Structure formats: C-alpha cells, structure tokens
Structure 1
Amino acid sequence: MNNHTRLFIKQTIPGLAKETYEVCLLLFKLTIPVLIAVKILEELGAIPYISRALEPLMQLVGLPDTMGLVWTTTLLTNIYGGMLIFFQLAPQENLTVAQVTVLSSMLLIAHSLPIEVRIAQKAGVRFAAALLIRLISALVLGALLHHSYSWGGWLQQPVELLWTAPVTDTSLTAWVITQLQGLAMIVVIVTALLSLLRFLRWVHIERLMIWLLRPVLRLLGIGQQAASLTIIGITLGLSFGGGLLIREAQSGHISPKDCFSALCLLSLCHSIIEDTLLVLTMGADLSGILWARLAFSLVFVAVMTRLLNYTSDKFQYRFLMHKVTSDQSTSTRGQSSAN
C-alpha cells in the first residue's frame, strides 16, 4: 500500500464515519418518536381508522390501505421514516413490484413537507402552492404509473423485500428488538449510500450530470442564474439547493419567476442519486422512481413556465410566489420602526 492510498484512506474513513453518524443521529431523532407513536396508535386500535381515512387516495393509486400510513409518515418526517414503517407493514400485504414502485415514486415527490415546504416558502413560493404542488403531483404520478403498469401487465411479480420484520411474537420486548434491527439496517443502508456517493464524486459522475442537465434547464425556461443552483439541488438535495436559492433570491440576483420555476423542479425531482438508491432497497423499479419521475417533473415544469407567461403579475404574486427580502433587511426595517 503506497503513501497516496494510505492518505486517501486516512482522510476518507473518518469523514465517512462522521457523516454517517450525523445522518443517522438526525434520522433517529425523527424516526424513533414516529415509531413509538405508531406503536401507541396500534395498541389503541387507531391504525384501521387512519387507513379508512386514506382509503380513497390509496385506491386511486392501486395500493393497500395500510400503505397510507407509510406515506403519511414520510410526509411528516422523511423517506427513512416511511421506510421503517414500510418494512414493518409490507410483509403482510403481498405487494407487487409495480405497487412498491408506485408507492416509492410518491414518497420521492412528497416527503419531509414541514421542512421542505418551508424552504420553498422562504425562497419565494407561496406555502399553499408549494404544498399542493407536492401532494397533487405525487398522486397524479402514482395514478399514472398504476394504470400504466396495470394496462401493460408490467412488474406484477411479488416484490422481494430486502429485510422483513418477524411477526410471530407480538410482545413489547419482541417489538423493541424488531425496531432495533430495523434501525441497524438503516445504518447499514446509510453507510453504503454515502460510500457510493463519495465514489461517484471521485469518478466525476456528478460533473457529467451537471453537463448533461444544463441545456435541459434552458429548455424548461429556468434562467442561467438559477441553473447551477437547480442542478445542485437535483443531484444533492432540496435542502442544499433550496438553501442556495434562498440566499440568491434574497440578494436579488435571481428573479422571482426563475426562483419559482427552479423550486417547482426541485420539489418534484431532487437528490436524484441518493433518494433513488434509497427506495431501490424497498424493491422499486427504476422505470418509475427515476425515468417516469424525471419525465413527469420536466413536463410539469415546462408546461408551468409557459402558462406563467399568460398570467398577470397580480395573479402570480397572490397565489404562486412572493418577493423575498433578506432577514437582515427585515431586521433593519424592524429596528427603524421601533426607533
């Protein structure tokens, strides 16, 4: 082993360990309370009532009622939280690959709404518009995939779950052991994904994606000033790309319309590497979670940006977007008013 290899390992392993620890710590803070809440709801017999409330939506996309709880958990927390509930409920449902692909596509579009809708709002998108775009788009794509797979008879084979929770023992002790096994599995998945992402950066796959996507964004009507930040969000995630868009919107370097268009695309299709790899572990197929989601997002934004040209500024600023001011300027105005 030469010195260059030793240096690479010395720098990479501690950084990977730290990143894995930070991701898992944040994840467990979010998901453990959800797991406990779900267990309490189960003991109280509330899950059937939740399933009935969500039954019309799940029937629309061809999923069992219980998968509504998976989506609800994902909406309020993140994809990891939904996965933990999925692996707990899926063994009893005999799901097909098509059904898991439909569910996964919905999870990818609509998740972590309390955080991500707030990011979009701070970057210039109206809260109601950001929320409805995520929810309605997830349902529309899920319905399109469901009917397409049913019509063509595609992906109708039973899904092979990566990990299943034992269901024979219903005691509290057995439940705790099962959840610990699930959390340990998530640690393994997170470590593997972060390692793969570092490898992709090392071989410059992300640079290739940026080169390929830049002309596409031009066709979508997203301006040059927002293009690079949009690509960052698509590849790395909404929190990172959205955070940069917030900063640029506050500085006035990007127009409200470009911010709105970019945030719409990021809302539907972000973290395209990590999140796609993540739901693959559930047994989903790439045809839905990558290609169909990408095509749907591009068509949606292309149509939306052209429709914006036929709406008045009054309509846009009342229902879709708002002007962004920096926290610093807001604070300064507040202090001036107080004086």
Structure 2
Amino acid sequence: MNESRDQLSRVIKSIGRGAGKGVAGALLLAISAFSAHALISFGRLSGLVERIMGVVDPVAALAGLPGEALFVFGLSIFFNFYAALGALAAFGLGIRDTTIIALMCLLAHNLAYESALMKKTGSAATKMIIMRIVWALAAGWLMNVLLAADMGPAILPAIDAGLPIVGFGRAWIAQAGLIIGVMAILLALLRIMRALLEEFGIVIYLSKVVAPFLKIFGLPAREGLPWLLAALSDYKGACRLMDARIKDGAMKKQEADLFNHHAALCHGILEDSALAMILGLSLFWLILPRLAIALVVVWVERARRHRFRRSFRVGTA
C-alpha cells in the first residue's frame, strides 16, 4: 500500500515538474510564434512582404526555392524554431515548400544562443554557425530535387490580404490562436511526458538501448544519454551533462566537440519534429535527412582529425 502511494506521489510530482517546464515552454512558443505570425500576416496586409519577396524571389529561385524560404530561414537563424513555425503557418504554403523550409530551419535556428552553448563544451562557435547554415541551404536544394512536385495544399491557407482590416484581424486571431494553441498544448504534454520518463529511469534505459547504434553515426556508445537528452528536447540538457562530465574529467572537450557536430544538426528530433507535424508535415522528411547529414558530418570530421594527426606526426602540419 505504501509502495503504491510512493509511486503515485512520484507520478504527481513529476507531472507537476513537467507541467511547470511545459507552461514555460508553451509561453515561449506562443510569444515567438504569435510575433512571427503577426509580422508575416500584417506585413502581407500592408504589402510590405510582397515588396520584400520581389527582391528575395530571384535569389531563392537560383536554388529552386520560393522566396518565402529565405525569409523564414532568416527568422530562424536569428530567433528560435518556434518563430519559424509561426511564420510558416502565416505564409500558408503547400506541404512541399513547407517541408523544405521546415527542414532548413530545423538544421539552423537560434544560432547565436546554441553556438554559445556549444562553445562552452569545446566547439568553435563560428564553425558551428557556418556548418549549420551551409548544410541547411544544401538540404533545401537537395529536397527541392527529391520531393514530388505536388504534395498537397497547406493545412490552413494564408489569410486573404484583401479582407478589410477588422475582418483580417479577426481571421488572424482565429487562425493563429488555433494552430499556435495546439502547438503550445502539445509542447506542454511532451514536457510532462519527458518528466515522467526521467522520474522512472526510462530515459536512462532508453539511452542504453540507443547507445550501440551511435557507432553508426561515428559517436561512442557512452554518449547515449546526452544524445537522448538532445533528441527528446533541445540541446541545453545535453550541454549541461557534457559540461559536468568535462569538469569531472570524464569527457574531453574534443569528444564533446565531435558530439556537437552531430547534435547541432539533429537535436529536438522528437519535440521540434512533433510541433512541425501539426502543419501537416511528414516525420520521415523532418528526421531522416537530419540524421543522414549528421552521420556524414561526424565521419568527415573524424577523417579530418585522423589525417591531421598523421600529418602532424610526419612533420607536414
């Protein structure tokens, strides 16, 4: 009986802890996504967005992408992925274009903040920023080649810019409130789920399950826990763990840097991908390309380090 009460108490406490983090995350999402949605929606109403598109479209067309891709990608680089989702929802593009842009933003978002975290664990911030931008643009070009020409219309089309200002405002509140509200609720539920997984040791167990597969990606099996923390949510949890390991002497900064080459490109595999799925996107195209790119990047980095060490030994570097 006492054991059952203890279990129930642990469940309630972990739900409360997860709910607190969920509310904080949901508020950040709502503020970021609403701001971006309003910027795009009312920018379209004023005609400002169309004038900007007139400049951006020819540049984006060189890579076979719509002008909106560079517009949203620019938001993503300087802000978080939530802002990119809000902008994508406002543009109301078809599933094909939304998939391409979402993937680009998943690969490169919130660069200043996340690169600063990676610098703490041994990575060069400038290198991480350039790497993510280059791979995001390359992925956008490649996806434009691979994806079918028509993958269906948007879940919610863009608001008609021809509406009177009052009608447009009402439509904006309804659309933004619906889609961003659903995202915020989903994010809160995911944070509660993560708290439960952590409380009952399931995260540790799952990290042991995925550990052997990390060798495929060029990472040691002992990095199963930081990998899972990064995959479930954002990079912060993995960063804290690696920082503690480095201070304890259990991990070298060179090892953390190699991990960052992977995590920079595919953290938030569960959380961010699930949020993007609300826009009608396929998890396959949101996850598999990121894992494939991370695999290539880590093995190339390992080869570069091996070549450098060999060159150094023979006195040519």
TM category, shorter: 0.7 to 0.9
Alignment of 1:54-133 (within 5 A): 54-55=56-57, 58-90=60-92, 95-133=93-131
Size of the alignment, in residue pairs? Answer: 306
Q: Pick the aligned partner of 2:250 from 219, 241, 253.
A: 253
Q: Pick the aligned partner of 2:146 from 145, 148, 151.
A: 148
Alignment of 1:217-256 (within 5 A): 217-223=214-220, 226-256=223-253
Q: Which moves more between the two structures, 222-231 or 120-129?
A: 222-231
Q: 1:136 to 1:24 in 2, by over 3 A?
A: same
Give the Cα separation in 2 of the matches to 1:227 and 1:177. Answer: 46
Q: CA deviation at 1:255?
A: 1.9
Q: CA deviation at 1:22?
A: 1.1
Give the Cα separation in 1 of the matches to 2:16 and 2:194. Answer: 18
Q: CA deviation at 1:275?
A: 0.9
The one-letter code sitting in structure 2 at the alignment partner of 1:190 is A
Q: 1:180 to 1:119 in 2, by over 3 A?
A: farther
| C-alpha contact (below 8 Å) 2:208/2:224 kept by paired residues | no
Percent of pairs with identical residues: 19
Give the Cα separation in 1 of the matches to 2:20 and 2:101. Answer: 31
2:26 aligns with 24
Summarize deviations over 1:125-170 as a string: whole Å, max 9, x none: 1121010111011111222222122xxxx37232341575454524
The one-letter code sitting in structure 2 at the alignment partner of 1:215 is P
Q: Structure 2, unaligned stretches of length 5 or more? A: 313-317
Cα RMSD over matched residues? 3.6
Give the Cα separation in 1 of the matches to 2:219 and 2:103. Answer: 24
Q: 1:295 to 1:206 in 2, by over 3 A?
A: farther
1:337 aligns with none
Q: Pick the aligned partner of 2:181 from 182, 187, 212.
A: 187
The one-letter code sitting in structure 2 at the alignment partner of 1:242 is C
1:158 aligns with 152
Q: Which moves more between the two structures, 182-191 or 31-40?
A: 31-40
The one-letter code sitting in structure 1 at the alignment partner of 2:259 is A
| C-alpha contact (below 8 Å) 1:121/1:130 kept by paired residues | no
Give the structure-2-normalised TM-score. Answer: 0.79
Q: CA deviation at 1:101?
A: 1.8
Give the Cα separation in 2 of the matches to 1:4 and 1:162. Answer: 46
